[in-house]
Amino acid sequence: MSGQQGEQDIGRAALPDPLTSAPRSPVPAPAPAPRPDEKWDLPDGFAWVYYAENGSDITKPVIMADASGLGRSDLGRLHRGLETGFPFLSGLRHRGRTVILLGFDERSASLMDNANAAITAVQRTIAEQRDHTRLTVGGFGTGGLVTRYALAKLEHTGADHCTGLYFSYDSPHRGGVVPLALQAFAHFIPGPENDLARQLNSPAARQTLWRHYDAGTGAVRPDPEREKFLDALGRFGHWPQLPRTIAVANGAGDGRGLPFPPGDLALKINGPVFPGTALYIQGAGDGVRVADLKRLLPPAAQRITTDGFPELDGAPGGTLDTYRLLAERLGAHGAETDLHHPTVCAVPSVSAVAIRDLDRHDDLYADIGGLPPEQSELDEFHCSATNTGHTAITRELCTWIMDRLPA
């Protein structure tokens, strides 16, 4: 493979998947996922059912939805992720809970379409449940938005979802973040096989990103798909009203962000296709440089700037090793890279606990512990002690959720 062709192939590298995106650690990999007790086919999705320890049917059910990404959900991988760092899934089963892992035929599809799978999963769970414990329903990352929408829609139509607890795990209720530098670079990559751009232009990404880069016009704005989703959610009352609503954030709640300065170089790229391309950490203000994009084949050069952005990349929140992944894929395909900052914020803490918007620096970096908790849209929430990987499974967050399950 030539260096030019290889570097173009970087477009086939999508963003890292939640539950496997936390920084590398010496924690041993969990065993392969066991065979589920039941498998369900659902509209726009499917589910794996694991009975409680020593159980033989569905009791005390917990439905947990996968997050967004490209392609069909891999529930075996989701199961392994839920046992990495802390045995969340097996801990639920040990407490007598049936765990239902909800996957989607296409994770990048519209959240409203994937909510069809969640709605059917809830209805089937109710039909097959052998006790009278109220359901627990929620999800990881965007899975928390899908289930939030599904429960709210069921209530709006008058259906009884029999849910006592809704939870979200590092879900972008007020918007998620992909660095604008990376969004622009994704569309700068030549060639038709560009999964990175396809992911960032997917309905799920456009509905959840706080700001989306339009490659056709260069506009940076809340995408119309996001406005459509929020309008639909608003027609259903924004949140399910019947269950108790809780959330956890992988980000810290003390307002302390990631340890790098805004405007600093994040990644420098050299090679036969992108010589001298540089991606920078997002800074605040107007006319702020976030990327210098240079390409030889076909030749092009572009400077990307932002107006009115806060310091998003370093905000307190659940993180992704976004630039590390990009550097590794570029290096594997012939480019020289100079990586300075591998990790950026993906879901700000204030978004995960629905207490502040992302437009203002003071809100983005708010000391959540010092805010009146009733300012959150949730009944209760919990932030991580430190900034950890987006949807990383930790003892702190998982035990907090398990202690609040319906009796």
pLDDT at 16: 56
Query: Residue 118 domain-assigned?
Result: yes
Do 133 and 264 belong to one domain?
no
pLDDT at 313: 98
Do 125 and 212 belong to one domain?
no
Query: Residue 391 domain-assigned?
Result: yes
Q: Sign of dihedral through CA atoms 358, 361, 365, 366?
A: negative
Instruction: Say how far apart CA 368 and CA 161 lie, in whole Å.
Output: 32
Residue 293 has pLDDT above 70, yes or no: yes
Query: Residue 235 domain-assigned?
Result: yes
Query: Residue 298 domain-assigned?
Result: yes
Structure tokens at 237: 């009352």
Query: Residue 19 domain-assigned?
Result: no
pLDDT at 123: 98
Do 123 and 232 belong to one domain?
yes
Do 241 and 263 belong to one domain?
no
pLDDT at 297: 85
Query: Residue 291 domain-assigned?
Result: yes
Please list, residue by residue across 256-266, b when 16 or more beta carbons sit within 10 angstroms of its beta carbon and e when fewer do.
ebbebebeeeb
Give the C-alpha distances (Å, rounded to integers) separating 247 from 99, 205, 334, 400. 18, 21, 42, 10
Do 146 and 85 belong to one domain?
yes
Poorest-confidence range of 6-20, 221-235, 295-309, 376-390? Answer: 6-20
Do 199 and 281 belong to one domain?
yes
* CATH number, residue 96: 3.40.50.1820
- Cα dihedral 190, 195, 200, 202, rounded to 10, equals 120
Of 329, 346, 363, at which residue does a domain stop?
Answer: 346
- Cα dihedral 261, 320, 167, 110, rounded to 10, equals 110
Domain of 193, in residue numbers: 3-14+175-223+259-346
pLDDT in tens, 349-360: 999 999 999 999
State the pairing for strand pair 288-296/277-280: antiparallel
Task: Give pTM, 2 decimals.
Answer: 0.94
Residue 68 has pLDDT above 90, yes or no: yes
User: What's the average model confidence in pLDDT over 172-179?
Assistant: 98
State the pairing for strand pair 45-50/38-42: antiparallel
Poorest-confidence range of 8-17, 18-27, 297-306, 394-403? Answer: 18-27
Instruction: Say how far apart CA 122 and CA 149 lie, in whole Å.
Output: 13
